[in-house]
Amino acid sequence: MNRNETKRVQIGNIFLGGNNQILIQSMCSIKTSHIKKVIKQINECADLGADLMRVSILDFKDAYAIKEIVNNIKIPLICDIHYNYKFALIAIKSGAKKIRLNPGNLNNKEEIEKIVNLAKKYNVAIRIGVNSGSLNQNIVRKYSNLETYKLIVLSAIEYIKILENFDFYNIVISLKSSNLFDTIQAYREFSKISNYPLHIGLTESGFDEVGIIRSVACLSPLLLDNIGNTIRISLTNDPKKEILTCKRLLHDLNLYPNYPTLISCPTCGRCEVKIKSLARKTLDFLEKNNVNITVAIMGCAVNGIGEGKKADIGLAGGKNKFIIFKKGKFFKEVKESEALNELFKEILLIKH
Ligand code: SF4
């Protein structure tokens, strides 16, 4: 099912699925009962572009923290519930806008019915969050001959039936695994047979470039197949890094238009300047000033101007002097010490 054809689901004051843009989400890395720190982290992530944030509910202290957290943040909060349905009831009454349930550890129908009834009353969505590491063991035993990705899909379908039997349809699905191929196949398979919106992500992907590369390798084919209505890149890092990585990935796939593009050359023996720090400072400047254009930072004028011709503006380095170019054409020569300031001035002129 194409992402635009998925069902539209309301999460607080925003919508996911259907024609709505892909939403970016992350998860707090702090215990939920540490309320002030959690609020700070959620607000920092929201300022960076998070549309939704999730917190874990491990105990009653966490569950009762939700009310104060919700009252001090500006984006919808998702609560992650495992094992104890009572945590879900408290979270819903406290203002959570979406509840994530794991079919692997919350499958008593009477308990699910209680959650569903309250979710209906409070207009709260439920994400059926299937994870290959905690599949429903009844399904695993019953279909032991099936491949993992099929078991993941089957777990989601079985749980959807339970919720639909209680006349509940405000559903989002995730089908995660730490195995890239299982994840891709599960989402592709599921999207052929259902129009519920999908939260996509690769779980436990790792840290820094390890996690980023694995997640991008997994999520790009899905996004290019028009699969996925919300996205999380799960990293062993601060959640703020997850938000920035999601934005960059979506932008590079033309799915997050209002964001700057920075091109910088890999450098070679011709390069006589410190390109990486110039590129970093330029990207920071573009992001801080919301200038959504393409800028090239190149190591030499010999090839830099031509190679950076798709950029709106660029800087080509040289010993003691730099060249500012626009759309692949020479604009002016500037001293090395003034190069960035001159570039930033021209960038702001383009913005206005
Ligand atoms: S732009 Fe110049 S310095 Fe950079 S890689 Fe190309 S030739 Fe080398």
The mean pLDDT of 308-329, rounded to a whole number, is 92
Domain 261-351 CATH (choose: 3.30.413.10, 3.40.50.2000, 2.130.10.10, 1.20.140.10): 3.30.413.10
With 0-12 / 13-18 / 19 or more C-beta atoms within 10 angstroms meaning exposed / middle / buried, residue 109 is exposed
Q: What is the mean pLDDT of residues 93-113?
A: 95
State ipTM: 0.98
Which residues, other chains included, contact 122 with Cβ-Cβ below 8 Å and sequence gap of 6+? 92, 93
Q: Is the CB of residue 293 less than 8 Å from the CB of residue 350?
A: yes
Residue range 210-258, pLDDT digits in tens:
999 999 999 999 999 999 999 999 999 899 999 999 999 999 999 999 9
Q: How far is the CA of 347 from the centre of ligand 1 (A)?
A: 22
What's the rounded mean pLDDT across residues 66-82?
97
Residues ≥6 apart with Cβ < 8 Å to 277: none
pLDDT over threshold 80, residue 352: no
* pLDDT tens per residue, range 113-125: 999 999 999 999 9
pLDDT at 49: 96
Please check whether residue 215 is in contact with residue 245, taking contact to mean a CB–CB distance below 8 angstroms: yes
Q: What is the mean pLDDT of residues 26-41?
A: 98
Identify which of 272, 274, 307, 309 to mutate to test ligand 1's pocket (most ligand atoms within 8 A of the CB): 307
CA of 315 to the centre of ligand 1 (A): 12
Q: State yes or no: pLDDT of 1 exceeds 80.
A: no
Mean residue pLDDT across the chain: 95
pLDDT tens-digit map of 282-296: 999 999 999 999 999
Instruction: Give residue 303 CA to ligand 1 midpoint distance, Å.
Output: 6
Please indicate whether residue 318, judged by its CB atom, sits closer than 6 Å to ligand 1: no
What one-character-per-residue DSSP string does 113-148 give? HHHHHHHHHTT-EEEEEEEGGG--HHHHHHTTTS-H
163 in Cβ contact with 176 (< 8 Å): no
Atom 7 in ligand 1: residue holding the nearest Cα: 303
The span from the CA of 331 to the CA of 322, in Å, is: 11
Note the pLDDT tens digit of each residue in 155-186.
999 999 999 999 999 999 999 998 999 999 99
Going by pLDDT thresholds of 50, 70 and 90, the confidence category of residue 195 is: very high
Evaluate: CB of 35 within 6 angstroms of ligand 1.
Answer: no
Phi, psi of 229 (to 5 degrees): -110, -25
Averaged pLDDT for residues 266-292: 93
How far does the centroid of ligand 1 lie from the alpha carbon of residue 302, in Å?
Answer: 8
What type of residue sits at position 163? L
CA 297 – ligand 1 centroid, Å: 10
Tell whether the model's pLDDT for residue 14 goes beyond 80: yes
Q: Which CATH superfamily hosts domain 3-252?
A: Dihydropteroate synthase-like (3.20.20.20)
Q: Is the CB of 268 under 6 A from ligand 1?
A: yes
Residue from 152, 160, 157 nearest 178 by CA: 152
Domain ranges of the chain: 3-252, 261-351
- Pocket lining: 314 vs ligand 1, CB cutoff 6 Å: no
Cα 241 to ligand 1 centroid, rounded to whole Å: 29
Query: Ligand 1 pocket, 309 CB below 6 A?
Result: no
If one residue of 273, 275, 297, 300 were mutated to test the ligand 1 pocket, choosing by the most ligand atoms within 8 A of its CB, it would be 300
Q: In CATH terms, are 3-252 and 261-351 the same topology?
A: no
